[in-house]
Structure formats: C-alpha cells, structure tokens
Structure 1
Amino acid sequence: MTISIKPTTTTNADEDVELLIIYEASRLMTHNGTADEAINGILRLMSQMIGLNRGRVTLKDDDMDTLSIRYSYGLTPPERARGHYVIGEGVTGRVMQTRQVAVVQNIDDEPVYLTRAVERGTLPQETVAFLAVPILYNNTPLGVLGAHRLRGRKRPFSRDINLLQVLATLIAQILSLSRLIEEKTALLADENRALKQALDQKTEGTHGILGESPALRHALRQALHVSPTQATVLLTGESGTGKERFARLVHITSQLRDGPFMAINCAAIPEALLESELFGHEKGAFTGAVVKKQGIIELANNGTLFLDEIGDLALDLQSKLLHVLEKRAIKRVGGTQDIPVNVRIIAATHKNLQKAVNEGQFRIDLFYRLNVFPIHLPPLRERGGDVSHLARHFLQRANHEFDRNTVFGPGVLERLDGYNWPGNIRQLENIVKRAVLIAQNREITIDDVILILQHESHIGEHLEAGSTKSVAPIEPPSLPSKSHQPTQRGYGWVRADETQGLLDALRQTGGNKTRAAMTLGMTPRQFRYRLERLGLLAQ
C-alpha cells in the first residue's frame, strides 16, 4: 500500500475541472439542503467529472471502534451494507487509524485491500486503483473518503489525492454543521415540548419533570391520580430521583394549590432544633426563645407540607408527627394548647421504612399513616431514553447560566445514556454543567464525558473495598458468603443483574477490560472488582 506520491505536471484542463468541482461542492455545502444531499452531490461530482468512481464516506460509529459507509455514489444498498470495518482493518481502517493518505495502485496486488464492500467481479477488468484520505475536523478523525479509479487514466494520482483532501475538508465542515443543527433542533424541540406542557396544568412539564419512559409515566399517572384527594402520600426511591418535584406536582394539581407549599429535610437539621422548626415554640420555652415562633407545620396551614427524608426523624418526633396526622393539631414547644391545622402531608425517603419498622427504628403506626398512597420514583437507569431529554435540558440551562453556546459532540448522548447513574438526576445535571465548563471549541466531546465519569467513579471507589454502611454486595453464586458485615460500594452496589452488561462490554471491546470499563463509565479497578465478585474472570 503506497502512502506517498511523486508530484507530476498538470494541464490547464485539470485545473479547470478541479476548480469547477470545488466550486460546485462549496455551493452544495452552502445550499439549504441536507447533509445527505450535499455529500452525495460531492461524490457524484467526483464520479462524473474526473472518474473517481464508487466514492464512499465511511464514518466512525458512535461510541465504537468501527466504521460504516454512510454516504456513497455508485454503490448498491447491499454493497453499502457490507461496508463495515474495525479501525485499523483494511485500507479504510488504516487510514482512519494513521490519519495518512493511502494509494493502492492495483487492488489485486494489495493484500491489505479487503474487497469487502464491492466484489472484484463487479469492477472493470482493467487495473483498478483505490484512493483514500482521512476526514479530519479540528485534527480529529471523523472518517475516511475513498474512491476507485482506473490506473491507466492519464490524470496523475497526485492531483486526485489533492482534490480528495480538499473535498474531505468540505465534508468535515458539512458533518460538523449538520451535528450542530441537529443539536440546536433537539434543544428547540425540547423547549417547544416544555412550553406545550406548560400550557396544561395537568402535565408534568409545568413542574420541571421531564421524560417519556414508561416507568416515569407510571409514577406521574399515580401522582396525578391521587392529587385531587386529601390522602397522605409517601414518595420512595433513591436520592436524586426528584421527590420534591413530585411533591410540588401533587400540591399544584390538588385542591390546596392556592395554599402554601412548605418543605423541610428532616435529615438536614440537627435533632435539637428540628422540633422547634416543625412545631414552633412559645416565648421563653427555652434559652434563646425570646419571641414566639410558628413552626413549618403551622405555616403550611391550608396547604401542603413536604417532609423529605422522613426515615431520619427521631422516635420522639415521630410520635408528635403521628399526633398531627391523627388530631389535625399541633402543640408548640413550651405550649399547652393544641392549635388546629389543615395540612396535607407528603413524605419522602430513600430508606426502606418497612425494614426500619422491623428494626425498631420507625413507628409502625406512623408508617401506616404515611403509607396511605405510596409512589415509587424510578432511578434514572430504569428510565430508558430519558437521559437524552434531561441532558439536553440541563445543557440549555447550563449554557444560559454560564453564557455559553455549547453542544454535545458525536456519541456523547449515547455514552451518557449507557451510564449507571447512581446519583440519578442530580448527578446528571452536575456532570452536564461540568462538561459545559471544560468544553473546548463549543463542543462537549466524548473524551470530556469519559474523563468526568471516571472522576465520578473515583469519588466512591474506596468504599468498594469495604465500609460499614448500607447493603452488602452480592457474592458470586459458587462461593459462600465471606461476611455478613454490610458494605457499600460508591455509586451502585454490585448486583447479579450486572452480569450481562459486563459480558456485553467485554465482547464489544474484544476482551479489553480497560476499554470495556470505559464504555460503562467505570475505572478498570471497579470493572475488575465486579468481574471478581460475580465470578466472571474465568469467562
């Protein structure tokens, strides 16, 4: 395979044809057509005007080390379908890998040439050459522009290569503009969807709950079903799944929508102060109580009170909250009289309250009072397709907040969609903000995202070796449990249902554990840890 060409003399006719092709290609680039029309038009010009036949643009597949023919002129659908190459494989794969020009002067004598897309029998019986140049954008390889030609033609190879390099630059610009337009269009579509939803008080868009997955829709239907009633609601689910937004949804679609919505995090306030915050106090009730103070329950009268992390409420305060639910009245700290309140309570927790009841950490009578209508909020990893909607929404907000005009590069949304998201929506928003801040040339690249996700994995990495909190990881089925001491892994415990995902990642990367870990947003250490715990190292 030749990768260098000696310069040869040219004629005015050659130059005129080349200038005409470049002019027409530039006109196609600036025309109001699609990327398909522009690139296919360039490939047609190559064939009809200078005999660079069966031109094809082979692009890198999203989030994979493979290439596929995306645009072509003179290839049949089956030939295009066969045009798949691993990076480094064949002439096309090597051009992508090395970023160097390739000239095969006789495809019959070049063992690297695969004859995969176009069978030799369909080509002319003369000596056929193949030319390929890399398609680069900001020095990043996007794909390969290639074409056949007859070696016996008088036109020198050097001029064909020079022209192909110019056309590859135009194609790179077309692809970049197309991605930019797609991202902008997607952002506008999300904005229009949110505006449309905001016109309907009964939809989730008004309250910032975005997504179309069946799991989210089920939770929304439950929330809207119970909101017109006065029933107490218990929201369960992992941290970061949007419990307060759901609580506001229930409130704003209820009969108490004109009343106040008050929220308090039971885990965020010291126990010594929480009683006063909830129930208020009388003047002189304790040192520092120089004036009478209304508690948040009293302030929520004729409205909704959202009690987040209810599972962290102390037992003595649990009994007082039970009194509120049963008697519809409160008693301030230091007070002697019941004060009637009309409050709808929505509680939320990421803990297993039934387990807490069994362990004596939560009152069973309060549990039944709160668990009148439970709604489970799905984690982000179970909301198929919602990551893209949320990521675009957070990108729009981050661009506005930081005065940026950043877009997602190729493969970024797919990589985000494939991550496990142990921190759920809160984590996704944080990562998008960081990506906007570190992005260069107004584009968030897949490398930016991989770097951030690797950093996210390091945050809880030390917990995987053992801690004293939460649920123990699953042992491999063939091994007895070594310890009953509960351990916590940062960002998601090892689960038996992870097995197939780990094996798929290994299969896609040809057994390369480091690359497989990157595809799952893990560090190599975390990936190997899961293989060991699930008994997969021997597979």
Structure 2
Amino acid sequence: MTCNHFEDSKINLSFNGLMVLYQIARILNTGGPLSNCMMEVLRALQDLASMNRGMISLLNASGDKLTVDVAYGIPDYLRQKGKYRLGEGITGQVAKTGQAVIISRLENEPAFLDRTGARKNLKLSDLAFLCVPIKISDKVIGVLSVDRVVLDQDVTLENELHFLEAVSNLISQVVEQRRRQTEQISALENENKELRQILENRGRPDQMIGNSNSMREVYRYIAQVAPSTTTVLIRGETGTGKELVARAIHQKSALREGPFIAVNCAALPESLLESELFGHEKGAFTGALSTRIGKFEAAQNGTLFLDEIGELSLSAQGRLLRAIQEKEFQRVGSMENIRLNVRLIAATNRNLEKDVQEKRFREDLFYRLNVFTIVLPPLRERGADILLLSDHFVRKYSKLHMKQVERISTGAIELLSSYNWPGNIRELENVIERAVLVCEDNVIKGHDLPRILPQTNRIKSSIRKSGTFENLVASYEKELIIEALKDCKGNQTNAAKLLQTTKRVIQYKIDKYGIDYRKYRKSA
C-alpha cells in the first residue's frame, strides 16, 4: 500500500497516520547509511505510533534464511540471536508467503518464537504482533515487524496493519533505489578498475619490472601520455630508470618509427653544448671542418630525451626555451631556420622548484617542461619489487657469465630488503652481478653480498629481538636447515648430507623448529 492509497482509504488510527508517514518519508530521503535510516524509521514508529521493538529482518543472498538486521529498543546482543529459516516462525512464514500477519495476543500463538528474547520479561497477553513483508517488484527481500500494547479485547488492528504495509512500501522503494545506486557505483568501479588495468598493461614496458602500486601508477601515466605529443618531465632519484620510461613513451607513441635520441646534459661541456644540440655549419668556429647536424635535427620525426636537464647552464636554457617555443632552431653559424617535429622528454633528479627560486633554472623553461610529470619512486619504497628485480638480474648475469645460479637464499633476501638503496635499481643490479660472480654454488647467500649491505645492523637487530646467544644460534641453525631443504627439494636425507650431519639430527631439528619440509618438496 502506497502513501496515496493509505490517504485515500481514510482509515482510523489511534495516531495521525499521515503525519507519521510524512516523517518517515523525510527520514528515508535524508540519505546517509541505510542502516541508520532504518533505525530512525523504527524510532519514529515507537515514538509517534506506539509501535515498539521494531525489527527489520532481511533474507540472505540464497533466500533461505532471515537475519534481524536492524532492531530498535532491543540490545545488540539480543538482535544477533534473531535468525530464522524461511517458513520458520511468524517472521519466516511472512517472508515465505509474502502475506502480512496480525497476532492479536502473543500468548496464544505457539508459532511465535521470539528468538531475540526481547519479550522474555513482558506480559504477552497484552502484546499484539504485526508483521509485513518488504517487497521489491513482488519479490520478498525482508520483513518489518512491530509490537503493539493492546488492552481492549475488541481491537482488530487491521488499520495498523495497513499503515505498516504503507511504511514497508516506503522502505522497499528506498531500498530499491539504494540497490540501483550501489549497482551503478559498482559497475562504474569495475569499469574504472578494468580501464586502469588496460592502461597499466598498455603502459607497462617489456624492460620494466615491478608490480608495486607506485609502479602500476607509472604504467598508467605512460599509457595516458604516450599517444599524444605532449612534453613530459620525468622526475626521480638517480638510478630509478628514467630513460627506460622515456623509451617506453617513445615506443608507444605515434613517433615510434622515428629515432629516439638521448642526451645527457650533464656530460656536455659548455663550449660544445650549442653545437651538440643544434649542430653547426662548416667554418662556424675553429675546428668546424664540415657541417654537422645536432641532436634536435637527428631526432626529427622522433623523440629527443634530455636527461639531467637541471644541469644545463642558464644560457643553454635560453636557447632550448626558444627552440621549444618557436618549434624551430638555427645551426651554429647559420641564419636558416629549421622547423622541428620532435617530441621532447626531459628528466632530472634535482628539485627544479627550488632551483627556480634560487635563480639556477629559468622559470619560463620550467613551466614549458612541466606539462605532464611522471615521478618515479625510489627502490626503497617499492617493497616486493626488490625481490622481482633481484631474480631478474640473477637470471640476466647467470646467463651472461655462464654460471648456474638458481636463486637467492632467505638470509640474502633479508639483507637486500633491509638496505635503503641510495643508488636505486642501478646499485641493485651491480650488487647482484657481483654476487653472481663470487657465488660458489647455485645459491646466492648473505656472505656473497658486498659489505655495504647492513649485515652488522642485522646482527644487532637480531640481538635486540632475541636477546640471547642461544636464540641467535637457533635462528641461524633454522635458516641453514631451510636453505638445505630448498636445495634438496625437501629431501631430509640429502639435506643431512649437504650439512654433513645425520638424518636423525635433521629430523629432530625440523620437529624442534616446526619446519614444514613438505612445502619445499611441493615447490620443486
């Protein structure tokens, strides 16, 4: 029954039904969490219509069980007891049949279960129970129930039941609206997730390794900016892979068939910088024995990558700015303008904003470059990517140096993970190459790593955590056994031979330290 139908019926109640329905409609239209709205509806039923212990019970996804989801005037620990199978008790019957029910005297109704125990200390002979289904498109999704104190034996409560059906109808409309909104939001979230995944896959270069959140964001940025001709500024510490990102942008752009020219601005001497960037004519200066094209001209119809752009002098910055603004340049010693069709990507590890404030970098050039910025995270913030990169470098340098190094030991992994890597990926690569070279078997162990890694700090940390010499020895013993089991694919006999002890000792230690040798057998 809708509000309009309720109004047209002109039924008699002991309270102002239309006013209560109006208040309930206002509550439901305020928004906010649905459970809060339902609690306020039940509060209004008690305060304005003397309908007590209101409960809203909802069907589960499979439609065979009801659980009291919201209850007013009933403690939470009692509410949680309100569970019914479909067809069980009055609540279950209403949910199964979809028909409203009035119990005029609870003491005379054996089917009333009172699972919550909320009426345990009440006089059931004075209580009536009204229960109506909550429906969406003729499908029952839950049940609304209330108590009424009834002292007059002749009261039928039919009008109260019609009123409660009108309340149920209002609730069902709001629930349906919220469900549609939730479905729309969920669909949008899924679509957004799929698009983000597509962008990540499109932007992920084959040469770049990493699945951390920060790197997935980098892949999305690459996919977003690559198809355009927008100038890109790549920022990050030394060794984070800025040139790899620049190459990835080029390879995924419309200019990928053109050249990719990389220039290290820090390596260019001031006297030769203009000639290197813009080229020169024969005889332009002493030693210019022939015409030579510069990096800009070499990058025509392709991409020019200016690494360490923050190291350029102010005079060189001025020439660069003009070339970017005018889309043309002149070779040294020439008056002829050459038109540019070049995608510009710049990179720096400097704080350019600070350099601008201190007049070391031109503000106008900074704004020309800072159109689309990609910030590369340092290796210390990439978590599990350290292990992925380490494994990659182990495979790379094992093949290069023709060694059979298969993996990195647990102890070595702990050392690699605890180091802060100021040199980032470049430093990690160097460390792994050295470890492959000095490794005496097929596993890189902690002592194969250079001394700069925090082995001493690790021991001090272990002492602080374990506190005793015995615990340190036990920890080291356990690590040795685990490494042996990994090498022997979980075979205890072979592990004992590798450690030059007996199988009985190994079995004892495995039991003592709770080592699951079977998982190493499975991983093989």
Q: Point out the structure with max Rg over C-alpha.
A: 2
Q: TM-score, normalised by structure 2?
A: 0.49
Q: TM-score, normalised by structure 1?
A: 0.48
